[in-house]
Structures are given as structure tokens and as C-alpha cells.
């Protein structure tokens, strides 16, 4: 089953992705103002680059991107910017890929649950408060104190599942 909504979740639908990036930057500005934090030029640019990639992107790639624009950039510059963006909920870390992706609804407190396409890398964040609650309740039922949660599902996105190429990536 595929609809424009499923493609939108993976950012694969026909659209001007610049609008997504601009919207994310605007929200980031608002959140930083709310938190009394500074969205410096570097932090803003790193966020913009993460969004521009559309798929989870690693710190080394971001370092490359930034160095291409500015000349050699020290790794801590990028790591600090990433930490800032994580702290303010503007991006998520995809643990299984050691990569980062922009959050589509950073205003709400949540832990991301992700669907990751093993063929093309497209990633969607599940936005379902019921899911959050169910996991928390299940852990609480076992008197378990959750400190960190990683929910990442690997499979095929709607586009790859539909194309013959999708199966060629199987391994
Ligand atoms: Zn987009
Ligand atoms: Zn999110
Ligand atoms: Zn895919």
C-alpha cells in the first residue's frame, strides 16, 4: 500500500525539498529562542546540511561538506554542533548507522522510532505517541527504568519495495 503520505514520511514525494529545509531552519530558530540558546552560523549550517542530505548522514560526511565550504574544519566543531542539535531535539541519532537525521516535529518531546530502508537509506520517523506510551508502559511493568531507547527497523521503503531493483539489494 503506497500513498503520497507514505512517500512523504520518507521524504520521497515530488516536492521542493528546499521548503523542508527552510521550514526546519525556521522551527530551529524558534526553538533556540525559546530555550535561550544560540543557533550560531555553524550550528545552523550543520542542521541545514543534515536536512539537505534527506537521509541519515554521518559526522565525517558533514565534516567533509563543511570543509569544502570553509577550508579545513576541526572535527570538534562539527561534533559540538551535532551535540547542540541533539540536545535541542532538532535532530536524532540513528544508532545502527551512526548517523543523524533532522526531526520533523522537534517541538514535541519524544524519542524517535525509525524505519530505515536497507536499499536506498530513506528513513522515516514514526510519529505515534501511542507507541511511545506502549513501550514505556511495558518497561514500567517490569519495573525497568529506561535511560536510553533505540527503536530502529530495517526493511524496504515503499519505492524500493515496488521496484525490481529493491530485491537486488537483498543480502
Ligand atoms: Zn523534503
Ligand atoms: Zn523526532
Ligand atoms: Zn528505499
- Residue 100 backbone dihedrals phi, psi, to 5 degrees: -130, 150
Q: What whole-number distance in Å separates Cα of residue 94 and Cα of residue 81?
A: 16
Residues annotated within the binding site are 117, 120, 157, 160
- Ligand 2 centroid to residue 113 C-alpha, Å: 8
The yes-or-no verdict on residue 168 having pLDDT over 80 is no
- Ligand 1 centroid to residue 137 C-alpha, Å: 33
Ordered alpha helix ranges (H), the chain: 4-9, 17-35, 41-53, 59-70, 75-87, 129-141, 158-162, 164-168
The yes-or-no verdict on residue 3 having pLDDT over 90 is no
Give per-residue pLDDT as tens, 129-155: 888 889 999 999 999 999 888 899 999
Look at the block and give the residue holding cell 566543531.
77
Give per-residue pLDDT as tens, 61-113: 999 999 999 999 999 999 999 999 999 999 999 999 999 999 988 988 787 89
The yes-or-no verdict on residue 170 having pLDDT over 60 is no
The yes-or-no verdict on residue 171 having pLDDT over 70 is no
- Ligand 1 centroid to residue 51 C-alpha, Å: 8
- Ligand 3 centroid to residue 115 C-alpha, Å: 10
Residues annotated within the binding site for Zn(2+) are 117, 120, 157, 160
Q: What whole-number distance in Å separates Cα of residue 170 and Cα of residue 95?
A: 21
Nearest ligand to the CA atom of 21: 1
Nearest ligand to the CA atom of 151: 2
The band of 4, judged by pLDDT with boundaries at 50, 70 and 90, is low
Give me the mean pLDDT over the 40-57 stretch.
Answer: 97
What domains sit in the chain, N to C, each tagged with a CATH number?
4-162 (1.10.10.10)
- Residue 102 backbone dihedrals phi, psi, to 5 degrees: -70, 145
The answer for residues whose C-beta is within 8 angstroms of residue 116's C-beta and 6 or more apart is 56, 94, 96, 97, 122, 123, 152, 153, 154, 155
pLDDT at site 127:
83
Give per-residue pLDDT as tens, 6-44: 778 898 888 999 999 999 999 999 999 999 999 999 999
Look at the block and give the residue holding cell 505515534.
128
Nearest ligand to the CA atom of 94: 2
Q: What whole-number distance in Å separates Cα of residue 45 and Cα of residue 65?
A: 10
Amino acid at each position: 500500500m503506497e500513498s503520497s503520505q507514505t512517500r512523504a514520511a520518507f521524504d520521497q514525494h515530488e516536492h521542493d525539498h528546499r521548503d523542508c529545509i527552510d521550514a526546519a531552519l525556521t522551527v530551529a530558530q524558534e526553538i533556540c529562542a525559546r530555550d535561550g540558546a544560540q543557533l550560531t552560523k555553524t550550528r545552523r549550517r550543520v542542521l541545514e546540511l543534515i536536512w539537505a542530505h534527506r537521509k541519515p548522514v554521518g559526522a565525517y560526511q558533514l565534516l567533509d561538506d563543511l570543509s569544502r565550504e570553509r577550508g579545513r574544519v576541526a572535527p570538534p566543531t562539527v561534533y559540538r554542533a551535532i551535540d547542540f542539535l541533539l540536545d535541542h531535539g532538532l535532530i536524532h541519532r540513528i544508532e545502527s548507522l551512526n548517523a543523524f537525521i533532522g526531526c520533523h516535529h522537534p517541538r514535541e518531546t519524544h524519542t524517535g522510532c525509525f524505519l530505515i530502508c536497507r536499499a536506498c537509506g530513506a528513513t522515516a520517523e514514526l510519529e505515534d505517541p501511542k507507541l511511545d506510551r506502549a513501550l514505556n508502559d511495558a518497561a514500567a511493568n517490569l519495573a525497568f527504568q529506561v535511560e536510553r531507547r533505540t527503536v530502529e527497523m530495517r526493511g524496504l521503503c515503499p519505492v524500493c519495495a515496488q521496484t525490481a531493483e529493491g530485491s537486488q539489494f537483498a543480502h
